[in-house]
Structure 1
Amino acid sequence: MGKIIFITGGVRSGKSAFAERYAKQLFQIYDRKRLLYIASGVAIDEEMAERIKRHQQDRFNSSVQWETIEIVDDLVFNDELFAEHPIVVWDCLTTWLNNVLYKTELLNGEARTHEINRYIQALKEQVLKWKEVNDCILLLVSNELLDEAQSKFSEVNRYCSLLGKMHQWIVEKCDEAYEMDYSLRKRWK
């Protein structure tokens, strides 16, 4: 059976760097054949384009070969990629959820809620499949946004509520959970 590792923390807390280092260690320890990186970022502005470029360069300059899969919202995967029990880093779920909310924003009421829930359910099923069927070691990276006061904007509160519930589900299912702060990690589980 595989493993789920959850890594969270504030923006620029060192989450991605820790996830990549840990993935490379696990890749060598478990002698896996593939090291996959699922990227959900979209270059919507210059700052995001620079962040994506920096992350790509970090992986390119790595001592191991990363395979990158871009998943903006729909979870479309080639199952053959996961047949060899890879180490997988998904960076990041916060961005993925944001992309889902953006994609569904023109839907109204129950139709939108249903569609968002469909995406989240698909994510849960995929994560469990990778762990239980494909024997993957999966490092899920996400931002910690729930330390802030409640927003006056309903869409921000919806996002935080969905993210919080998603985090709770992941932590319940995961084998290890880490929180990053100033590049320092605290293991919670």
Structure 2
Amino acid sequence: MIIFICGGSKSGKSALGESFSKNLHKEGELIYLATMKPTGEEDLKRIENHKKDREGTNFLTYEILENIEKAEEIIKEKDTVLLDSITSLLANEMFKEKIIFNIEEKIIKGIEILSEKAKNLVIVSDYIFNDSIVYDSITESYRKSLGIINCNIAKLSDVAIEASYSLMSIYKGEEILKNERLI
């Protein structure tokens, strides 16, 4: 099963992803793929908070900052995988020594590889599209790439959810969630 969770900053999307992952996990490993490359004190605090949230759980955490397709080497067919987040993964892939545009296909292909390998894949991403600010061309390119990736993941997913203030709106797969007793 593939569950896609998208939401704004501090919307509860990561906690929701962790909850779904833990509830889906029946056998195999429970894997957390962390993609955030810290760039400052706020990022370090956020990473520390996410680690604290996972204390006492059975998550095996792997930091995979780019080339997400390589995670297939650690994933087995009975594993449940939480990928948090597409937003950070895209930033890591796009902003290297030089800016790399049109990276969407690589990331989408990586997600497809993981989805074929794991029993369950829960994917977290950000929704950054509801302001009216006109950004510079590089930021707009990033936003466009994230939109393309998010749309492709939503199509690939069995379930698509928007998180907002720790509440969820289910846009796809509500019956699946009910059948699995996840809601």
**Shorter-chain TM-score above 0.5:** yes
Taking the TM superposition and a 5 Å limit, the aligned residue runs for 1:1-189 are 3-27=1-25, 31-62=26-57, 65-75=58-68, 77=70, 79-103=72-96, 106=98, 112-113=100-101, 116-117=102-103, 120-132=104-116, 134-189=117-172
> Could you tell me how far 1:44 is from its partner in structure 2?
1.3
Q: CA offsets per residue over residues 121-172 of structure 1, 9 Å max, x none?
A: 232223222333x242111100100112252311111111111111111111
* Identity %, equivalent residues: 30
After superposition, the CA RMSD in angstroms is 1.7
In structure 2, distance between residues paired with 1:83 and 1:49: 30
Q: CA offsets per residue over residues 84-112 of structure 1, 9 Å max, x none?
A: 421111111001111122115x25xxxx4
In structure 2, distance between residues paired with 1:69 and 1:15: 19
Note if contact 1:130-1:136 (Cα within 8 Å) is conserved in structure 2. no
In structure 2, distance between residues paired with 1:80 and 1:153: 38
State TM-score, norm by structure 2. Answer: 0.86
DSSP-derived class of the 1:67 partner:
strand
Say which is worse superposed, 75-84 or 4-13, in terms of deviation: 75-84
In structure 2, distance between residues paired with 1:59 and 1:141: 15
- 2:179 corresponds to: none
> Could you tell me how far 1:4 is from its partner in structure 2?
1.4
Q: Which runs of 5+ in 2 are unaligned?
A: 173-183
In structure 1, distance between residues paired with 2:160 and 2:140: 24
Note if contact 1:34-1:84 (Cα within 8 Å) is conserved in structure 2. no
State TM-score, norm by structure 1. Answer: 0.84
